[in-house]
């Protein structure tokens, strides 16, 4: 599963040193570990406050590779350079499994479409067919819906 580095830069005191001594070698280091930059261009704040000139997101093949890169001697030296000319926060995060289907998907929510564009309905129906039959109309959802599905296949299953 992919893993991500998210860096939020809040201040940059010396752009030339940052570019020459940190950014160029850091990009090469990231590439050697199979990482790639996903976000790093201009951005626009749509809600709230976002102090700082930059946000960067890099994707790595998995969390182990990401941590190996971050803890490498090469990158640890680059961190010292970055911190001498800028301030910010850096976090790492796991990605989501692709084609994830939740067993909790039911009723009107069964028609969601997956990231890959395929319909989840058939996968959810296979998953639900392994469970004990139960009534979908026993209580109202928070939205006010009874939870009853309009899908003819659901009507036949009852």
pLDDT greater than 50 at residue 80: yes
76 part of a folded domain: yes
Within this chain, do residues 9 and 85 fall inside the same structural domain, yes or no?
Answer: yes
Cα 151 to Cα 158: distance, rounded to the nearest angstrom: 12
Global pTM? 0.60
List, in order, residues 6 or more apart from 79 with CB less than 8 Å away: none
126 part of a folded domain: yes
Please give the pLDDT value at position 154: 52
Tell me the per-residue pLDDT of 9-61, one tens digit each, with 9 for 90 and over.
999 999 999 999 999 999 999 999 999 999 988 888 999 988 888 899 999 99
Report which of 14, 12, 26, 34 is spatially closest to residue 78, judged by C-alpha positions: 26
Domain span at 121: 107-157
Within this chain, do residues 119 and 90 fall inside the same structural domain, yes or no?
Answer: no
Cα 23 to Cα 28: distance, rounded to the nearest angstrom: 9
101 part of a folded domain: no
Please give the pLDDT value at position 100: 53
Please give the pLDDT value at position 140: 47
Within this chain, do residues 90 and 113 fall inside the same structural domain, yes or no?
Answer: no
Mutual angle of helices 63-71 and 24-32, in 10-degree steps: 140
Q: Which helix (H) or strand (E) holds 4?
A: strand 3-12
* Strand ranges across the sheet with 86-94: 36-39, 54-60, 3-12, 86-94
Within this chain, do residues 115 and 72 fall inside the same structural domain, yes or no?
Answer: no
For residue 158, what are the CA distances in angstroms to 28, 50, 106, 127, 149?
59, 52, 14, 16, 11
Q: Which residues of 127-155 are buried (b: 16+ CB within 10 A; e: fewer)?
A: ebeeeeeeebeeeeeeeeeebebeeeebe
Confidence category of residue 119, pLDDT binned at 50, 70, 90: low
Residue bearing the bigger pLDDT, 94 or 103: 94
Within this chain, do residues 14 and 68 fall inside the same structural domain, yes or no?
Answer: yes
Within this chain, do residues 86 and 128 fall inside the same structural domain, yes or no?
Answer: no
Within this chain, do residues 54 and 17 fall inside the same structural domain, yes or no?
Answer: yes
Q: What is the 3-state secondary structure (H, E, C) of 52-85?
A: CCEEEEEEECCHHHHHHHHHCHHHHHHHHHHHHH
CATH of the domain at 57: 3.30.70.100
Mean pLDDT over the full length of the chain: 77
User: Of 65-74, 82-91, 137-146, which range is least confident?
Assistant: 137-146
User: Of 25-34, 62-71, 77-86, 129-138, which range is least confident?
Assistant: 129-138
Please give the pLDDT value at position 53: 85
């Amino acid at each position: 599963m992919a893993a991500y580095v998210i860096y939020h830069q809040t201040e940059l005191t010396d752009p030339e040193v940052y570019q020459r001594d940190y950014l160029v070698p850091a990009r090469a280091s990231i590439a050697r570990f199979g990482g790639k930059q996903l976000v790093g261009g201009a951005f626009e704040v749509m809600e709230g406050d976002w102090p700082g000139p930059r946000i960067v997101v890099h994707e790595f093949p998995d969390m182990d590779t990401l941590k190996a890169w971050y803890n490498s001697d090469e990158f640890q030296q680059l961190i010292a350079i970055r911190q001498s000319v800028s301030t910010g926060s850096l976090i790492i995060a796991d990605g989501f499994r692709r084609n994830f289907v939740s067993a909790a998907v039911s009723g009107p929510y069964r028609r969601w479409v997956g990231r890959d564009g395929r319909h989840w309905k058939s996968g959810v129906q296979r998953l639900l067919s392994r469970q004990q039959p139960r009534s979908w109309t026993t209580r109202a959802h928070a939205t006010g819906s009874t939870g009853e599905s309009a899908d003819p296949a659901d009507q036949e299953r009852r």
